Structure 1
Amino acid sequence: MYCPDHSQLCCSRCVELNHRLCVQVTPLPQAAGGKSTNFKNLSVSTENTLSQLKQCQTYQEDRIKSLKVSYKEHERLIVDGLRVNIVSYLRECETSTVNTTHKHMQYPISEMREEIKYLLADFEKSTIKEKKEELNLKQAPLKVVRNSCIRLHYELFHLHVAIPKVLGKELSFIASKKCLENIQQSDIFLKENVLNKVFTVNGKSVHHVKMPSESDTCFITAVCALPNGQVLVADYFNKRVKLLNQQYHVVSHLDFRDAYKQLDSDMCLITPTEVAVAMDDEVQFITVSQSQLAKGRKLKLQHSCNAIAYLHDDLYICSDTALYKYRLSGKQVCRLYEDTSAYKTVYKCAVSPTGDRLYITSYMEDKLLTLARDGTLLATYTDPALGDLYGLHVTPAGQVLVCGYCPGTILQVGWEGQSKLATLVTVEDGVRRLRSVCYSSTTSSIIVGQKLNDTILVFRVE
């Protein structure tokens, strides 16, 4: 049987228990003989959902790995710190007993060494045990989501493969309905567990990024997090791209001193060791190797270039009033969206991990626009807290972050681009003149760049 009211396949028992009040329950032969399913559209929807599930699985696995690395490093630092303190204490004891009581104190000190060695071993075991328990607690929900992704992907993939091989209207009808049901379940799961999962800020740190040789105050217009925990920042006033290590210290930089070139733009990750920087009317590629930066190839454009995003060999580039799609090779594919009603109507851009959503900001109107992959406008979002809407970022899991320059706010917006999920940061958190925002899944942190400020802010999130 099939119940159109609930869009569910059912047996006679289901009809008796759950569909007694439904008036359109029909036998399968009759239901299958009705309007045929558009298998082409179903295939596209299935592939898109499969891609999202795979992306979700990969994201959870990356977070699990990141947690392991983070906790291992934390354990090492604690133990190393204890070792240093003990060694320092022993040296002090030995120094204080030189000459006069050295002969008598040699054995007690030796004995003390052995005792401290055992204490240290016990401490290491205790610390490791505690940290492992804490790590397991934090990993548990990530593993649940990952395993659910694997299960849903497995079920949907086999339906996807089976549908073209099914013969007969009834079996095709059953397979298509099962497939649609699985897609719906997957969509609900992804929205509840990933796409609209709200960040919680649980700590803040401040890091100086001004170099000793610089006379100008820093103006960080773009931030890009690398998978290894390093961070790239674009400093507009000092005309430099700087590489920060895992402790957010500047370890390398590249100068862009051309009078007509500006770093008042954007950058995005291409590979784990390559980024693309948008400036004026060109895209400059930069490679990162052994904590050193090197300029790579350039793409010369026929329009201005103030923002850039990348996904699956495609570049998305903003030119103040239009959004263009390019191949990574530099070939222009099309102009996806345009608004010439004012200046900076297409200011920043970002793309969802599956490519089915594009996000752009209209700086003059303080709006976040959500587009379909073909450029069709799907949603518009405004918020009084987002005065001078500058920063925009989409996380590897598809969460949308936007920041307002004045009064200084970071919001998390739903992936549909229609509503606010949370206010993550405000001026009360010490932010001023926000210009850029970026999320690092490696360190589970939101990194913020500011105008006329020699520091970046790092907010730890869960």
Structure 2
Amino acid sequence: MKSRIDELKKTSLKDLASLKDSHKSIIVEIKALRTEVNRIFDKLEKMTVEQLDRMINDLEKGLKNDLDSCANMHDQLKTMMEKLQQITDKHKNISLFIGYKKCKVKLGEANVTVQDIQKRPKQVLRFKSDESLLQFLKNLSSLGNIETVSSLPKRTDGDHVYNAQSSGEYNVRIKEDQNICTISGICELPSGDYVISDSNNKRVKLLNRKYQVIAHCDLSTVPNDLCHTFGNEVAVAVDDCIAKHEVHFLIMSRGKLHAGRRFTTDHQCNCVSHHQGQLYISSNDALHQNTISGILVKRFMKTSLITGKLTRMF
């Protein structure tokens, strides 16, 4: 009973640590969702401002045309008045009569221009927000639901047995693929998208929640494995089994995969995992603990195939 209680205490401590990890993970997911919501609102704001700019430009163009018409007509009338006042020759009466006829025609044109401008309705802009959007946001009590998922795993000789809830087949081949797709690694991002490594085609692919390939990033050599690190970043174990042993970091932004930093190791990179800011990279005969920047912290060597003993090297 004491042994069982001690085991229960250890399990409870692990569950407590798991809860803290879940808290951190959910916080990352919430921030990722908030970032995506901000991006959508930024796009809506940009489109609305662009619509406003187009309307302002059209109205300004019409008003400027009216101003040009008024200024042109004003200058023509002023010129005719000045010419009439300067008539002093012996045929003054005839010249005045001709000038009167021209002025009458020009006044008629000016009257038509004034009436046309005055008849146009005054354009006043106002902004009317989408009330359905505001009402939808006001009705929200949170960005999502926090659910408690309970599970009681079956036990067989001390091992945990997990039952699959569902399964399905999805095509992740793209037109750029020249070889059969070989999925060597998969992880989920806080946004709900998935990232897989296709070792046979030397590329990493981004899948949406419907498991459709929406983007990819080509690599110079084989991606053996990948894992999620922070935010929308993944670490990819890249290895050509001869000389190139590296860990690449890819970032998902605006639905695309972008290559980031990388670091080189002195050992093969078969698998990679992330835990509490540390990377764990496995080679053929060892497990290597590195910082996120690539600095080696510890190395666990497999010293015996028979006993399965490990030797920790600093």
Q: TM-score with structure 2 length normalisation?
A: 0.49
Greater strand proportion:
1
**Which one has more relative contact order, counting CA pairs under 8 Å at least 6 apart?**
1
